[in-house]
Amino acid sequence: MTYKITLKPSGHSFDAPADEPLLKSADQAGFKLPYGCSAGACGACKAKVVTGQVDYGDYQDHALSVEEKAAGMALMCCATPRSDLTVEVREVGALGSIAVRKLPCRVQKMERVASDVMVLQLKLPASEPLQFLAGQYLEFIRPDGSRRAFSIANAPHQNEFVEIHVRLVPDGEFTAQVFGTMKEKDILRIEAPLGSFFLREDSDRPIILLAGGTGFAPIKSLVEHALHKGIVRPIHLYWGARDKAGLYLDELPRRWATQHPHIHYIPVLSDAPVADAWQGRQGLVHQAVLKDFADLSGHDIYACGAPAMIEAAHSDFLARGLIEESFFADSFTFAAH
pLDDT tens-digit map of 174-199: 999 999 999 999 999 999 999 889 99
Percentage with pLDDT > 90 across the chain: 75
Least confident of 38-47, 69-78, 208-217, 300-309: 38-47
Name the least confident of 36-40, 66-70, 128-132: 36-40
For the ranges 131-135, 218-222, 233-237, 259-263, the lowest mean pLDDT is seen at: 131-135
Average pLDDT for residues 235-261, to the nearest whole number? 98
Q: How far apart are CA 98 and CA 227, in angstroms?
A: 22
Q: Which residue has the higher pLDDT, 44 or 118?
A: 118
Q: Average pLDDT, stretch 156-165?
A: 93
Helix (H, G, I), strand (E, B) or coil at 318: helix
Phi and psi at residue 165, in whole multiples of 5°?
Answer: -115, 120
Phi, psi of 220 (to 5 degrees): -60, -45
What local confidence, expressed as pLDDT, does residue 96 receive? 63
Q: Are 163 and 113 in contact (CB under 8 A)?
A: no
Q: What does the DSSP assignment read for 10-61?
A: T--EEEEETTS-HHHHHHHTT-----SSSSSSS-TTEEEEEES-EE--S--G
* pLDDT tens sequence across 10-53: 888 889 999 999 998 988 887 778 887 777 888 878 899 999 99
Structural domains in the chain, sorted by start = 2-91 (3.10.20.30), 98-194 (2.40.30.10), 207-331 (3.40.50.80)
- This prediction has a pTM of 0.80
Where b means 16+ CB within 10 Å and e means fewer, 294-306 reads eebeebbbbbbbb
Q: How far apart are CA 327 and CA 44, in angstroms?
A: 10
Q: Are 135 and 199 in contact (CB under 8 A)?
A: yes
Residue 111 is classified by DSSP as E
Percent helix, strand and coil across the chain, each rounded to 5?
A: 25, 30, 45
Q: Is the pLDDT of residue 94 over 90?
A: no
Residues 6+ apart with CB under 8 A from 333: 37, 39, 41, 42, 307
Which one of 67-76, 190-199, 232-241 scores highest in mean pLDDT? 232-241
pLDDT at residue 336 greater than cutoff 50: no
Cβ(187)–Cβ(143) below 8 Å: no
- Average of per-residue pLDDT values in the chain: 92
pLDDT of 230 above 60 = yes
